[in-house]
Amino acid sequence: MSFSRRRRLSAAIATAVLATATAAACGSGGGSNGGGGGSGPTRITLGVIPIIDIAPVHLGIEKGFFAEQNLDVKTQNSQGGAAIVPGVVSGDFQFGYSNLVSLFIAKDKDVPVRMVSVGARASDNELDDGAGQLMAKDANLKTVADLKGKKVAVNTLKGINDVAIKSTLKKNGVPDDVTLVEVPIPNMPAALDAGQVDAVMISEPFTSAVEAQGGHALPVSYASMGHNLPFSAWFTSEAYAKKNPDVVQRFTAALEKSLRYADAHPDEARATLNSYLQLNAGVSDTVTLPGWEPTTNRDEVASLAQLTVDAGLIDNLKPVDRLLND
């Protein structure tokens, strides 16, 4: 989907006259081709975050699973949803990666996105989840009840980490008396060290780093929302899905094959990490990987949505069906 000339202009005027100057200077950006009507493979760009969870895509590219489906896949790193979601909506990315809670909220606000596949799953151990694990250094901070009145760092407020922490407190009957502050994940070990926060909701490779400095896990994690629960997804825009159903279908097939393969061959998935991250030597052998089993159903997705409703981030479960079917 590419922008109509007029809408592009209105956008430019709405912001500033400058945008037009830029547009004039560099022609049009906007949507790249996604149709793939011509010969050769269909070129698609994925909006991703440089984290461990997306290893299957890189593995699938290496293994040729996408080429099998006549797809030429490129990934582009982003800092997060602020760029990935608008990138997918505008057609600059054909697909994007996001945690599911953000997608529920987006759907609740009528952002035209559609889920195409599971992204990654929580582990089955509350004390060992690579994608989201609460860690602390204070020896007196061991149980969920100890969190009362404490300050906890999360990388984004009003998102999946709120849901993980609030739902676990609720499950354990602990009053929600925890202060959440935003700290970027790479800065969490330092903040914890300096005592600026009492605990951090952190992910790999930083979980291992905190552990190495004598930190320990608390039973609050993505796994404590539900064992093996899918917490993230690959998504596309409604417009792209309507226009290119066959590309979506081929991409989903290749992606699911990659996810299954990565889930079954953790060693190969680990080896892939070093191809797209700059991990320190040896880290890729020890990090905790998420699960990647792609088969899912509405109920599984809805159980996370229910926790999101309970945390007060969305009103009802409507976004689930819309995310799956719009």
Partner 1 sequence: MDVKLKQRGGASGVPRAAGTSPPEGGGAAAGPGASAGAPGADRRGGRVRAWGRAVPDAALGVLGVALLAGILEVLPRVGLVSSEYLPPFSDMASALGDMAGEGGFWHAVLDTAKGWGYGLAVSVAAGTVLGLLIGSVDILRKATASTIEFLRPIPSVALVPLAVLVYGTGLESKLLLVVYASFWPVLLQMLHGVQDVDPVARDTAACYRLTAWARLRHVVWPTALPYLMTGVRLAASVALVLAVTAELLIGSPGLGSEIALAQSSNAVPAMYALVIVTGALGVLVNILTRAVEKRVLSWHASARAEAVA
Partner 2 sequence: MRILRNGLASLLFLLGLPAVLLALWWWFAARSDNFYYPPLDEILTAFGDTWFSSRIADNILPSLARLAAGYAGAVVIGVALGVVLGSHPRLRALCEPVLEFFRAIPPPVLIPVLMLFSGIGDTMKIIVIVTGSIWPVLLNTTEGVRAIDNVLADTARSYRITGVARLRRLVLPAASPQIVVGMRQALSIALILMVISEMFASSNGVGFAIVQFQRTFAIPEMWSGILLLGLIGLALSLLFQLFESRALRWYHGLRRSQRGEK
Task: Report helix angle 160-171 to 100-108, nearest 10.
Answer: 110
CB 263 within 8 A of CB 95: no
Q: Considering CB distances under 5 to 8 angstroms, the limit depending on partner class, which of partner 1, partner 2, none binds residue 308?
A: none
Q: For partner 2, which residue of 18, 24, 25, 194 counts as binding (CB under 8 A)?
A: 194
Distance (Å, whole) CA 41 – CA 76: 19
Residue among 305, 295, 307 at smallest CA distance from 103: 305
When binding is defined by CB under 8 A, the residue of 46, 111, 201, 225 that contacts partner 2 is 111
Instruction: DSSP letter for 90, please.
Output: T
Nearest CA among 201, 207, 162, 210 for reference residue 183: 201
List the interface residues with partner 1, window 258-297 (CB under 8 A): 277-280, 283
CB of 8 to partner 2, least distance (A): 10
Angle subtended at Cα 61 by Cα 55 and Cα 65, rounded to the nearest 5 degrees: 110
The single residue among 78, 94, 102, 224 that binds partner 2, judged by CB under 8 A, is 102
Of these, 20, 125, 187, 303, which contacts partner 2 (CB under 8 A)? 187
Longest dimension (CA), the chain: 64
Is residue 21 near partner 2 by the rule CB under 8 A? no
Q: How far is the CB of 281 from partner 1 (least distance, A)?
A: 11
Q: How many CB atoms lie within 10 A of CB 165?
A: 26
- Is residue 10 near partner 2 by the rule CB under 8 A? yes
Smallest separation, CB 195 to partner 1 (Å): 13
Residues 216-245 that bind partner 2 (CB under 8 A): none
Applying CB under 8 A, does 145 fall inside the site for partner 1? no
196 binds partner 1 (CB under 8 A): no
